[in-house]
Amino acid sequence: MEDNQHFEIQQVSKDNFQVLKQLGQGTYGQVVMARERETGKSVALKKVKKNQTTQELFFHELFVSIYLSSCEGIISTHPTFIQTNNHYTMTQELAPAGSLHSLIQRGVGIPEEMVKRCALQLARALEYMHSKSLVHRDVKPDNVLLMDKDCHHIKLSDFGLTQRAGTLVPSMSPIIPYMSPELCDLKYGSFLALDPSVDVWAFGVLLFVAFTGSFPWRRAVDEDPIFQEFINWQSLVRQIASPRSWQKFSRKAQDMFHVLLSKDPTIRYPVGVVLNNFDFQWGVEDIPEEVFQIVVEEEDNEIRDDEAQGIIIEGEDEFIIVESPSDVDYIIVTYTSEESFSNYSPSTLSFWTENSLNLGSEVEIG
């Protein structure tokens, strides 16, 4: 925040509100829906337990929340607070449709057009924060609030962990899937100079979760085999096939995720990269349940442009002879030096390439 920014914050009585119902409950407190007795307007009261925080931390979140309230994509916070024996409470605008987390169907996600609407608004909210040299540090679907169920109007919330860029932050426990590799790698007693790139990483993970309904990995650490598979693919993206969980995305969408989720934070693109990626499909339509692989017998790992190569489609348990290109919608080139094509039928799919085709590249036929 700007060093000369000051707020006139007024303490008000809890009797100014009529509590209507509970909206959420957690370790640190609860959020309730209430009505202002004077205006009749519905609001959200965020109550934090005094035994789970400090006065300094509560007012830090309150100040940051008020400071950011002028942004359309950030939840608005009133310049007031309530203090009781057990709680500190701030008053915020009500998000009547809940959180993005409540909307995401496990293993399914939400429709692409809704993901894109969320991406656009969330990117602008984060860009606004980053332009103020503030880093959110807790970007996840729980902290994206919905003004409507179709995500035409969403708002970023929860600034309890927000700090100025450059602030030294310690390791956090537990490690969650939204945490960037540099945060996950922090050892106890070590510190990291905070950078907006940690929000960019979390933003990329959030988009994956919203689209698929699943996490891309449990932890962004080398010991996590799914994360390590992603990093290997990222470094050899044109040489090896994409991991199964990423085959739901188009090639251009995969490229977008690679820049949002670069392991090296110094080359991780700003969140605004998504603003340039709305003119194509993020998802791949009509992908077969089983994505087959082309096995190529070639010592230098490429299909040459000077001779037709015999290829076969390999399933999980057996080779599948393809009678015509129309039998296959989507194939991925991989390599093996163990198999020979000499005993396979001439009806095995064969094709000629005008240019060299590197292994790992995707091919559409049919």
E strand or H helix at 350: strand 350-351
Question: Do residues 17 and 36 make contact, with C-beta atoms less than 8 angstroms apart?
Answer: yes
Class of residue 243 by CB neighbours under 10 A (exposed 0-12, middle 13-18, buried 19+) = middle
- Long-range pairs, 51-54, Cβ under 8 A, ≥24: 51/86, 52/27, 52/28, 53/28, 53/88
Structure token pair of residue 158: 């929860």
Minimal CA–CA distance to 309: which of 339, 364, 256, 351?
Answer: 351
Helix, strand or coil, per DSSP, at residue 335: strand
- Catalytic residue flag (residue 142): no
Query: Of 138, 158, 195, 199, which one is the catalytic site residue?
Result: 138
Dihedral, 55, 58, 59, 61 alpha carbons, nearest 10: 160
Q: Residues of 307-345 as b/e, b for ≥16 C-beta within 10 angstroms?
A: eebebbbbeeeeeeebeeeeebbbbbbbbeeeeebeeee
Q: Catalytic site residues?
A: 138
